[in-house]
Chain A
Amino acid sequence: MRTVTTISGRMILLLLVWWTLTEGDPSGIGFGLVIVILVTAISVRLFPPGTARIRPMPFCLFVLFFAGRSVTAGIDVARRLLSPSLPVSPGFLTFHLNLPEGGPRWLLANTLSLMPGTLSVSLDGARLDLHCLDTRDPIEADVRAVEQKVARVFGLSLEDSAARAGGKE
C-alpha cells in the first residue's frame, strides 16, 4: 500500500514537472507520459520507497526556514567579503549524525552546504565532515538545530540525540 502511494505520488509530481516544462502545452503529453513512467521506474530502482517519508506540513516550515537561512548565509558571506580585513578563520569540523541513512542524511548535508558558514565535504556513513568559514561561530548548535528540523520533516524523533551530543563534548 505504501509503495503504491509513493509511486503514484512520484508520478503526479513528475507529471506536474512535465506540465511546467512544456508551459501547459497539451500537444506533448503522450511523449511526456512515456518519460514520466520511465523516470518513475528509474527513481524506484535508485530510491526504493523506504520508511522515511516526507511530512507535508513540517516540510513547508522547513522550506521557509531554509529560505530565511540562505538569505542570512548570502548576506553573511557578502559582509565578510566586503570588509577590508576579510574576517574568516576556515577549518574542518566533524560531526556524528543521529539521522538514519539515505534521504534524511542527504538532505541535511545538502542543506548545510547552503547555510551560513558551513559546507559539506564528505558524508561517510554517519560521519559528516564540514568545512567552516569561521570556526569561531557556534557551528555545533547550528548543525544540531538543522538536524532536528530535518528529523521533523521525515517524522522522526531524535530525543536521544541532544543527550548524546551533550555527553560527547
Chain B
Amino acid sequence: MEITQLIQGFLLIAGCVFFAVGTLGLFRFPDTLTRIHALTKVDNLGLGLILLALLLGVPSLAVGMKVVLIWLVALAASATSAHLIARAVRSQDRGRSEGRESHD
C-alpha cells in the first residue's frame, strides 16, 4: 500500500513539473508555433503522468476507464486544436506577406 502511494506521489509531482515546464515554454519560446510545441507535447506528458497516478488508485473498473477516456479525449483535443491554431497562424502570415499594405 505504501509503495503504491509513493509511486503515485512521484508520478503526480513529475506530472506537475512537466505542466510547469510547458507553461514556461509560453514565455521562453519566440513565436506562436514553437509555443504550441511546448504546450501540446510537454502538457500531454504531464497529463499522462497524472492520469497514471490516478489509475493506481481507482475504486472500480468503470472509473479507471473514465480516466483513460479523459486522457484520450484530451489528446485528441490537444492535437486538433494545435493543428487549427498552427493553420490559422500560417494563413495569417501568408496573407500578411502577400498584401502587407491592405490590412495592417
B83 engages A121 (CB within 8 Å): yes
Number of B interface residues in the complex (CB < 8 A): 38
Measured in the bound complex, the distance between the Cα atoms of B42 and A117 in whole Å is 11
Q: Which residues of B contact A131 (CB under 8 A)?
A: 33, 37, 86
> CB of B96 within 8 A of chain A?
no
Q: Are A81 and B90 in contact (CB under 8 A)?
A: no
Residues from chain B with Cβ under 8 Å of A21 in the complex = 66, 69
Chain A 101-138 near chain B by CB (<8 Å), digits 1 or 0 = 00000000111011011011111000001010100000
B46 → chain A, closest Cβ, in Å?
Answer: 7
Quote the shortest CB–CB distance from B89 to chain A (angstroms): 8
> What is the predominant secondary structure among interface residues of chain A facing chain B?
helix
The answer to whether A20 and B69 touch across the interface, beta carbons within 8 angstroms, is yes
Residue in B closest to A88 when the chains form the complex, CB atoms: B34
With A78-B21, A88-B29, A90-B33 as given contacts, are A73 and B62 in contact (CB-CB < 8 Å)?
A: no
Q: Is B75 an interface residue (CB 8 A)?
A: yes
Q: Are A114 and B78 in contact (CB under 8 A)?
A: yes
Q: Does A56 contact B (CB under 8 A)?
A: no
Which residues of B lie under 8 Å from residue A123 when comparing CB positions?
A: 83
User: Given that A21-B66, A109-B83, A133-B37 are known contacts, is A81 also in contact with B78, CB under 8 Å in the complex?
Assistant: no
Cβ contacts under 8 Å, B36 to chain A: 119
Q: Is B63 an interface residue (CB 8 A)?
A: yes
B20 to chain A, nearest CB (A): 10
Residues on A facing B (Cβ under 8 Å): 16-17, 19-24, 67, 70-71, 73-78, 81-82, 86, 88, 90, 109-111, 113-114, 116-117, 119-123, 129, 131, 133
Q: A21-B69, A90-B31, A113-B79 given; name 15 further pairs at CB < 8 Å.
A: A23-B62, A24-B62, A74-B46, A76-B41, A78-B42, A78-B45, A81-B24, A82-B21, A86-B29, A113-B40, A113-B78, A119-B36, A119-B83, A121-B83, A121-B90
